[in-house]
Chain A
């Protein structure tokens, strides 16, 4: 048995306790169920969707829910149930990749700023602040208009923009840790900066980063859907909740089912993520003051 395996056991033990704690909370149970449900749906929806999502049927245009089409049809006569079931796939894929990437780069830079400290840190953080003060949708639209849409642009864009608030959080968490004696002890022993980040700081900032990541995920989903809503996200005919809401909102007064179904899809996923993040934060003992996405 080597040293690393003993620490591995401790980590495993901690993972199990945290999971148990999350599942012991109603918010954790409901949240995780919702998230898992959506992930499963995204994987299996091509198999279970009753109709082809592209299939247009002019005789069904804006038809209300019926026994054949449970949630009715949209303005092109496409089955809303099938489109709603598949409407989260793109969003989950893009945000599922971009969230961890954003947390990794933002977290690393934030810890580094926190460790370096002093004037460099101050100046760079003011740049970050200035950046954060611009409306996010504006910043993203500039990039997307310049480079075009599609997953290849959306993932780097979201990763970049959502990593920046992570810098703030990681830096603040690092500042709390850096003044503690075990970091002083490591410095006094003469460890390298990388070793201090990796061994002393990261393990203690990781909890905060995980909760932050979960929060960023739900923000990012909302951003992705907003971009789709504005026509910069998923291109038709691929089904997407944001796009569906955008398409159906013109007919909302006489065919509200076209909006209701994707709204329920999107909000249940975001609520699920937020509840899970909440339970995770409580299980890890982190006081979370951040607000839910608005």
Chain B
């Protein structure tokens, strides 16, 4: 039965007026229609206009944006020429939005129950007497444990995943017919994300919702959407069913995007998508993607392609969509050559390292000296060989960043030693370390917006380590800076730019350049790609790999993304609550036998493949502090043996040479 279009966007162009008075489009002639029961995934790099389009579906435009042409209809209602009050009733009523950072969209000083009651009062016809029951009903629908107890809690008492569930519950309060989701799981842990995706998938099915899902995460899209629309530079470049788009993309951009995602079942680094998307203000004569496209020819640069509707139901904006087969899905990119490190010296030893953030006050020291909370990070013993890449993986709160900061001397260790090059232990505070050691350990941070001083030019940023460690100035300083910039594939003309004049990927390259400027032995990488688009992430991973092969640098690579860690590491340590669960060579850790936690993590990874469903073993509850005794994973472990897990620290079982699992379950059963 053909259903009527529920959300119908026709030939929509949206733009802003530049200072010079020109109208600059950010959405160009976009069509999107959603029927009830459909869930459409909107994919693209940052700046592709996907969020603008999703908000346009509610008749909302960010400040400065205005409609150039086209129309937006919701169930036959013209959203662009609707009376203000009626529009307000629709938004949050029949049409609900779940934003990216729900923890921040909850009012911090209102209890959860009150917040949901407010949503019920405004957007449902429930009588006031039914509010309390309504709240409990909604909280159970989003599968929150103990809904009654939860109503009395404040938002900060919930974990990120629970906050996101509350936001979903509030969106459901009005019994909406359409849901708009703007990156709803970005920033959540893998296991939490997988659980939320399952929830959304079931909700959409049960309530026959029309769903528009905006995300850069193709794995999430694959899980909840039945159709996918790929956007590039404000245009639709490809639409089709989730299977068509994700498994055999007919557009070179979609093809490149998919190839740039690191996958668990591949051993090599993902393929980077070179170049960057055009700025909205650039005039484009031909295809917007032509500059980055391997299939592009003369026509692509001179005339813009139209959206071709194919017999298979896809629509593709490309002249050469029939030649897509020429783009090899798996190009001859050699699997990452793992340097032989077996016989190398040890670069860094962590010996029984423990870190505690708690600073007991005088009173508690006097009266309850035995009541000290367990250390945030404990029993970390790892030897890292020269030229090796050690991946540290785990959910937020697993202590991975804390370990890096302790190595860098920014967080004092409680006990244990950090030993560089098999000499005497380093002082735990950076101020007291000898200058010669400081140069040898450099750190690259997650977010280059935060790690580059916004007031410094690239030249000044690179000058910092070069002046400090090598005393360079004048022409030698400039020459060295240029040489380093070229290593990270940026040209000399970048020297005069400020960070605000660079793209995300370029900023991270500058941050990498700054770390390499010191010519260090060890580089600590703290989630260095998680603030970047996937296509840029692939390029940064590739760069890190090349630099490492040139200089023989040792990396400690922290990430919550298991596929990224797999792609770049030689050895992986899986951490939970600041304790090592499993450590070993990449291939061994990523294949059975598993520690139950590793198993839970790997099972929850969402692959950009609609046919692969995640395996959810452990629940996604978040623990704030590690248990005092026994195994750190005891409270969430799906395979808990019994009281032994609560009382005894699991012993290290050496499954294979170098592959160690800390678990009470005997090796044969793992």
**Distance A181 CA – B450 CA, assembled complex (angstroms):** 5
**Distance A7 CA – B481 CA, assembled complex (angstroms):** 14
B441 → chain A, closest Cβ, in Å?
8
A146 → chain B, closest Cβ, in Å?
42
**Distance A181 CA – B410 CA, assembled complex (angstroms):** 11
Residue among A184, A186, A187, A195 with max Cβ neighbours from chain B (10 Å): A184
Known: A10-B498, A189-B518. A203 touches B455 (CB 8 A): yes
Contact of B451 among A2, A185, A204 (CB under 8 A): A185
**Distance A200 CA – B450 CA, assembled complex (angstroms):** 12
Residue among A7, A181, A199 with max Cβ neighbours from chain B (10 Å): A181
Task: Please tell me if the beta carbons of B452 and A182 are within 8 angstroms of each other in the complex.
Answer: yes
**Distance A185 CA – B514 CA, assembled complex (angstroms):** 10
Task: Please tell me if the beta carbons of B445 and A3 are within 8 angstroms of each other in the complex.
Answer: no
Task: Please tell me if the beta carbons of B460 and A3 are within 8 angstroms of each other in the complex.
Answer: yes
Scan residues 323-364 of chain B and give those whose CB is less than 8 A from a CB of chain A. none
**Distance A206 CA – B514 CA, assembled complex (angstroms):** 24
Contact with A along B415-449 (1 / 0, CB 8 A): 00000000000000011010100100111011100
A283 → chain B, closest Cβ, in Å?
15
A182: chain B residues within 8 A (beta carbon): 450-453
Task: Please tell me if the beta carbons of B496 and A199 are within 8 angstroms of each other in the complex.
Answer: no
Residue among A190, A195, A200, A204 with max Cβ neighbours from chain B (10 Å): A190
- Kindly state whether residue B457 has any CB partner on chain A within 8 Å: yes
Contact with A along B254-277 (1 / 0, CB 8 A): 000000000000000000000000
- Kindly state whether residue B613 has any CB partner on chain A within 8 Å: no
- Kindly state whether residue A180 has any CB partner on chain B within 8 Å: yes
- Kindly state whether residue A139 has any CB partner on chain B within 8 Å: no
- Kindly state whether residue B478 has any CB partner on chain A within 8 Å: yes
- Kindly state whether residue B387 has any CB partner on chain A within 8 Å: no
Known: A10-B498, A204-B454. A188 touches B430 (CB 8 A): yes
- Kindly state whether residue A191 has any CB partner on chain B within 8 Å: yes
- Kindly state whether residue B393 has any CB partner on chain A within 8 Å: no
Task: Please tell me if the beta carbons of B455 and A188 are within 8 angstroms of each other in the complex.
Answer: no
Contact of A3 among B409, B481, B498 (CB under 8 A): B481
Task: Please tell me if the beta carbons of B454 and A190 are within 8 angstroms of each other in the complex.
Answer: no
- Kindly state whether residue B321 has any CB partner on chain A within 8 Å: no
Known: A7-B460, A204-B454. A190 touches B474 (CB 8 A): no
Task: Please tell me if the beta carbons of A191 and B468 are within 8 angstroms of each other in the complex.
Answer: yes
B559 → chain A, closest Cβ, in Å?
16
Contact of A189 among B456, B457, B468 (CB under 8 A): B468
B475: chain A residues within 8 A (beta carbon): 2
B438: chain A residues within 8 A (beta carbon): 188-190
Contact with B along A165-194 (1 / 0, CB 8 A): 000000000000000111011111111000
B49: chain A residues within 8 A (beta carbon): none
Task: Please tell me if the beta carbons of B453 and A6 are within 8 angstroms of each other in the complex.
Answer: no
Contact of A204 among B433, B453, B469, B498 (CB under 8 A): B453
Task: Please tell me if the beta carbons of A185 and B443 are within 8 angstroms of each other in the complex.
Answer: yes
Task: Please tell me if the beta carbons of B445 and A181 are within 8 angstroms of each other in the complex.
Answer: yes
**Distance A188 CA – B441 CA, assembled complex (angstroms):** 9
**Distance A6 CA – B474 CA, assembled complex (angstroms):** 12
**Distance A191 CA – B433 CA, assembled complex (angstroms):** 12
A204: chain B residues within 8 A (beta carbon): 453-455
Task: Please tell me if the beta carbons of B459 and A188 are within 8 angstroms of each other in the complex.
Answer: no
**Distance A184 CA – B498 CA, assembled complex (angstroms):** 19
Task: Please tell me if the beta carbons of B464 and A190 are within 8 angstroms of each other in the complex.
Answer: no
Task: Please tell me if the beta carbons of A200 and B453 are within 8 angstroms of each other in the complex.
Answer: yes
- Kindly state whether residue B293 has any CB partner on chain A within 8 Å: no
**DSSP class of A's interface residues: helix, strand, loop or mixed?**
helix
Residue of B nearest to A180 (CB): B450
- Kindly state whether residue B139 has any CB partner on chain A within 8 Å: no
A184: chain B residues within 8 A (beta carbon): 410, 443, 445, 451
Scan residues 496-532 of chain B and give those whose CB is less than 8 A from a CB of chain A. 496, 498, 514, 518
Task: Please tell me if the beta carbons of A3 and B447 are within 8 angstroms of each other in the complex.
Answer: no
Known: A182-B452, A186-B464. A7 touches B457 (CB 8 A): yes
**Distance A190 CA – B435 CA, assembled complex (angstroms):** 7
A290: chain B residues within 8 A (beta carbon): none
**Distance A2 CA – B433 CA, assembled complex (angstroms):** 32
Scan residues 27-50 of chain B and give those whose CB is less than 8 A from a CB of chain A. none
Contact with B along A1-33 (1 / 0, CB 8 A): 111001101100000000000000000000000
The range of chain A's interface size is 20 to 34
Residue of A nearest to B447 (CB): A181
Residue of B nearest to A177 (CB): B453
**Distance A9 CA – B481 CA, assembled complex (angstroms):** 18
B463: chain A residues within 8 A (beta carbon): 3
Contact of B474 among A2, A187, A195 (CB under 8 A): A2
Contact of B457 among A2, A10, A195 (CB under 8 A): A10
**Distance A58 CA – B443 CA, assembled complex (angstroms):** 80
**Distance A206 CA – B453 CA, assembled complex (angstroms):** 13
A191: chain B residues within 8 A (beta carbon): 464, 468
A159 → chain B, closest Cβ, in Å?
27
**Distance A205 CA – B443 CA, assembled complex (angstroms):** 25
- Kindly state whether residue B477 has any CB partner on chain A within 8 Å: yes
A2: chain B residues within 8 A (beta carbon): 474-475, 478
B450: chain A residues within 8 A (beta carbon): 180-182
Residue of B nearest to A202 (CB): B455
Residue of A nearest to B526 (CB): A181
B54: chain A residues within 8 A (beta carbon): none
- Kindly state whether residue B296 has any CB partner on chain A within 8 Å: no
**Distance A162 CA – B235 CA, assembled complex (angstroms):** 56
Known: A187-B410, A191-B468, A204-B454. A3 touches B477 (CB 8 A): yes
B565 → chain A, closest Cβ, in Å?
21
B465: chain A residues within 8 A (beta carbon): 189
Known: A2-B478, A10-B496, A182-B451. A187 touches B430 (CB 8 A): yes
Contact of B430 among A10, A190, A195 (CB under 8 A): A190
Task: Please tell me if the beta carbons of B496 and A188 are within 8 angstroms of each other in the complex.
Answer: no
Task: Please tell me if the beta carbons of A6 and B457 are within 8 angstroms of each other in the complex.
Answer: yes
**Distance A236 CA – B454 CA, assembled complex (angstroms):** 51
- Kindly state whether residue B495 has any CB partner on chain A within 8 Å: yes
B556: chain A residues within 8 A (beta carbon): none
B433 → chain A, closest Cβ, in Å?
7
Known: A3-B481, A10-B496, A10-B498. A190 touches B433 (CB 8 A): yes
B432 → chain A, closest Cβ, in Å?
10
A175 → chain B, closest Cβ, in Å?
15
B410: chain A residues within 8 A (beta carbon): 184, 187-188
Residue among B431, B441, B496 with max Cβ neighbours from chain A (10 Å): B496
**Distance A200 CA – B468 CA, assembled complex (angstroms):** 14
A186: chain B residues within 8 A (beta carbon): 464
- Kindly state whether residue B408 has any CB partner on chain A within 8 Å: yes
Task: Please tell me if the beta carbons of A6 and B496 are within 8 angstroms of each other in the complex.
Answer: yes
**Distance A181 CA – B408 CA, assembled complex (angstroms):** 13
B445: chain A residues within 8 A (beta carbon): 181, 184-185
**Distance A9 CA – B457 CA, assembled complex (angstroms):** 10
B508 → chain A, closest Cβ, in Å?
12
A9: chain B residues within 8 A (beta carbon): 496
**Distance A137 CA – B20 CA, assembled complex (angstroms):** 51
Scan residues 465-502 of chain B and give those whose CB is less than 8 A from a CB of chain A. 465, 468-469, 474-475, 477-478, 481, 495-496, 498
B401 → chain A, closest Cβ, in Å?
11
B408: chain A residues within 8 A (beta carbon): 188
19 CB < 8 A contacts A-B: A1-B478, A3-B477, A3-B478, A6-B495, A7-B459, A10-B496, A181-B451, A182-B451, A185-B451, A188-B408, A188-B409, A188-B441, A189-B438, A189-B465, A189-B469, A189-B518, A190-B435, A195-B468, A199-B456
- List 5 tightest A-B contacts by C-beta distance, closest first: A203-B455, A181-B451, A190-B438, A181-B445, A181-B450
Report which A residues bind B (CB closer than 8 A): 1-3, 6-7, 9-10, 180-182, 184-191, 195, 199-200, 203-204, 206
* Given A184-B410, A188-B438, A204-B453, 16 additional A-B pairs, CB 8 A: A3-B481, A3-B495, A6-B459, A10-B496, A180-B450, A180-B451, A181-B445, A182-B450, A182-B453, A185-B451, A188-B408, A188-B430, A199-B460, A199-B464, A203-B455, A203-B456
